[in-house]
Amino acid sequence: MSQKQDQWTSKLGFILAAAGSAIGLGAIWKLPYVAGMSGGGAFFLIFLLFTIFLGLPLLLTEFTIGRKTQHEAVTAYRMLAPGTYWHWIGKLGVATSFFLLSFYSVVGGWIVIYFARSITEGIGGRGAEEFEQLFGQTISSPWLAIAAHLVFMLMTILVVQGGVQKGIERVSKIMMPALFVLFLIIVIRSVTLPGAMEGVRFFLVPDFSSLTGQTILFALGQAFFSLSLGVSIMVTYSSYLKSNESLPRSAVSIVGLTIFISILAGLAIFPAVFSFGLEPTEGPPLIFIVLPTVFSSIPFGSVFFVAFMALLLFATLTSAFSLLEMVVASVTKNDPAKRKKAAWVCGLLIFVLGIPSALSYGVMGDVLFFGLTFFDALDFLVSNVMLPLGALLIAIFAPLKIKKDELYDEMQKGSAFKRSLFNTWYVLVKYVVPIAILLAFINTLITGGV
Ligand code: TRP
């Protein structure tokens, strides 16, 4: 057995780091654009159901595995099922994190550019169309997109090479609430724009005629993406945890926060989209066009915009740390002597893999894989295939390889988890989660996504 691991410096540290991993581009950037392309309200409702009935139980499962074993994911699965192939769940998670971070960092780069611009140029009194053009110009410049992606990766590497991110925990305590407050300001402005109600309706009133087989798979992928599930990162994070923390309570808080920020993001974006006469189907650039336009119609909008971009960058970085941490922890097996080198080597490889994604909205815009740009194809593979597959395997693994009583004991530590709730969790993870994921896959295969 290897040496004792670092532990979180405070009780709050773990929850902040886990929430930091969860809250990021998933809720703020991805959800609005995927919901926009998938018909709005019906998508959002299914996403919520998946988040509560599949995401929450799975988050608790990952936490339980991590704290029980006190080891990063690959080792954790090895300990629980020695001599089997189950530790490949951990390896799949590492590969998924690697791919995911490569395009996540490209969007991180766009935020870096917008943040820098918000300081040097402000936003002026531009309208939606100008912001649309500006976005197009910005990311279609190959060198700028690659340089920004590199800057984002370097920031991520610099923090991860230093070990479990102590300073970050402390800063999160201020940054996260500040992000919520700014979001509330945008929501208030957005829903009071002329014609905003159409957008509120689009986002909150389900229209089931817009649903396709693929929508359901996308909602599933989105639920796992925004909770950082399926790659065992939450196993790794909770392995640094002492036994006096309530796992069920932590899981509920993180899911609650993620849902809350998802709703804020939707209410910030869609009313404005309709009010400005934009299309909700804009795709990945959506928030980069809508948000600056909203800010430009708020008094002191330029100042708020700088603050918002800084906070969004922070939220994005805390998610990126978790992704690189996942890769680095599995390469180094928590040997501190290897951490620095591993962070640089893995981080730079991820940067290289991200280059074609960075070019996907510019010079490589016409290079298509199954009809998708490199960026979109990789995102599809990660979010809608690899994450659900990882989640499926974790849901099969836990009840199969850990005794029911041991699971209950672990969840009870630091909390008074009722047996009846535990039984509900057990049924959800053992039956509902695997069946739902399989059905979503099968449905997509049969309908061909239509
Ligand atoms: N959850 C993060 C977000 O919503 C992204 C993320 C971080 C992630 N780590 C992950 C997604 C692990 C899946 C798996 O922005």
Window from 81-85, 136-140, 143-147, 434-438 with minimum mean pLDDT: 136-140
Nearest-CA neighbor of 391 among 200, 230, 199, 192? 230
Question: Does residue 254's CB lie within 6 angstroms of at least one atom of ligand 1?
Answer: no
Residue 165's pLDDT is: 55
Question: 439 is written with which tokens?
Answer: 């059905």
Mean pLDDT of 261-267: 94
**Over pLDDT 70: what percentage of the chain?**
94
Asked if residue 395 has pLDDT above 90, the reply is: yes
Return the ∠ at Cα 325 (arms to 355 and 75), rounded to 5°: 120
Q: What string of DSSP letters covers 317-355?
A: HHHHHHHHHHHHHHHHTT-HHHHHHHHHHHHHHHHHHHH
Asked if residue 1 has pLDDT above 50, the reply is: no
Any idea which residue has 């109600």 for tokens?
197
3-state secondary structure of 224: helix
Instruction: Answer yes or no: pTM beyond 0.85.
Output: yes
* Confidence at 279, pLDDT banded by 50, 70, 90: confident
CB 57, CB 217: distance < 8 Å: no
Taking CA atoms only, the protein residue closest to ligand 1 atom 12 is 228
Mutating to test ligand 1, I would choose from 33, 92, 96, 104 the residue with most ligand atoms within 8 A of its C-beta, which is 104
Question: Does residue 22's CB lie within 6 angstroms of at least one atom of ligand 1?
Answer: yes
Question: Does residue 323's CB lie within 6 angstroms of at least one atom of ligand 1?
Answer: yes
Question: 390 is written with which tokens?
Answer: 């990882």
Return the ∠ at Cα 279 (arms to 276 and 283), rounded to 5°: 125
Residue 66's pLDDT is: 94
Asked if residue 210 has pLDDT above 70, the reply is: yes
Higher confidence at residue 293 or residue 221?
A: 221
Where is 446: in which H helix or E strand? helix 433-447
Mutating to test ligand 1, I would choose from 58, 105, 152, 228 the residue with most ligand atoms within 8 A of its C-beta, which is 228
Asked if residue 3 has pLDDT above 50, the reply is: no
Mutating to test ligand 1, I would choose from 98, 99, 225 the residue with most ligand atoms within 8 A of its C-beta, which is 225
Any idea which residue has 């893995």 for tokens?
346
Residue 234's pLDDT is: 94
CB 28, CB 287: distance < 8 Å: yes
Taking CA atoms only, the protein residue closest to ligand 1 atom 7 is 319
Ligand 1: centre distance to CA 388 (Å): 13
* pLDDT digits 0-9 by tens, 46-93: 999 999 999 999 999 999 999 999 988 999 999 999 999 999 999 999
Asked if residue 448 has pLDDT above 80, the reply is: no
Question: Does residue 231's CB lie within 6 angstroms of at least one atom of ligand 1?
Answer: yes
Which segment, 48-62, 152-166, 366-380, is predicted with the most confidence on average?
Answer: 48-62
Q: How far apart are CA 166 and CA 266, in angstroms?
A: 32
Question: Does residue 236's CB lie within 6 angstroms of at least one atom of ligand 1?
Answer: no
* Confidence at 133, pLDDT banded by 50, 70, 90: confident
Residue 28's pLDDT is: 93
Any idea which residue has 């829903």 for tokens?
191
Window from 61-75, 129-143, 189-203, 408-422 with minimum mean pLDDT: 129-143
* Confidence at 7, pLDDT banded by 50, 70, 90: low
Window from 125-139, 241-255, 385-399, 429-443 with minimum mean pLDDT: 125-139
Q: How far apart are CA 325 and CA 109, in angstroms?
A: 19
Question: Does residue 246's CB lie within 6 angstroms of at least one atom of ligand 1?
Answer: no
Question: How many residues are listed for the chain in this entry?
Answer: 450
Alpha-helical (H) ranges within 192-246 are 196-204, 213-226, 233-238
**Mean pLDDT for all residues in the chain:** 89
Nearest-CA neighbor of 316 among 110, 130, 165? 110
Mean pLDDT of 321-329: 90
CA distances from 103 to 41, 117, 341, 377, 389 (A): 27, 21, 22, 11, 19
| 400: exposed, middle or buried (Cβ count in 10 Å: 0-12, 13-18, 19+) | exposed
The one-character DSSP state at 85 is S
Ligand 1: centre distance to CA 322 (Å): 8
Asked if residue 299 has pLDDT above 70, the reply is: yes
Residue 4's pLDDT is: 45
Nearest-CA neighbor of 279 among 37, 47, 44, 42? 37
Q: How many CB atoms lie within 10 A of CB 209?
A: 7
Q: How far apart are CA 9 and CA 16, in angstroms?
A: 11
Question: Does residue 383's CB lie within 6 angstroms of at least one atom of ligand 1?
Answer: no
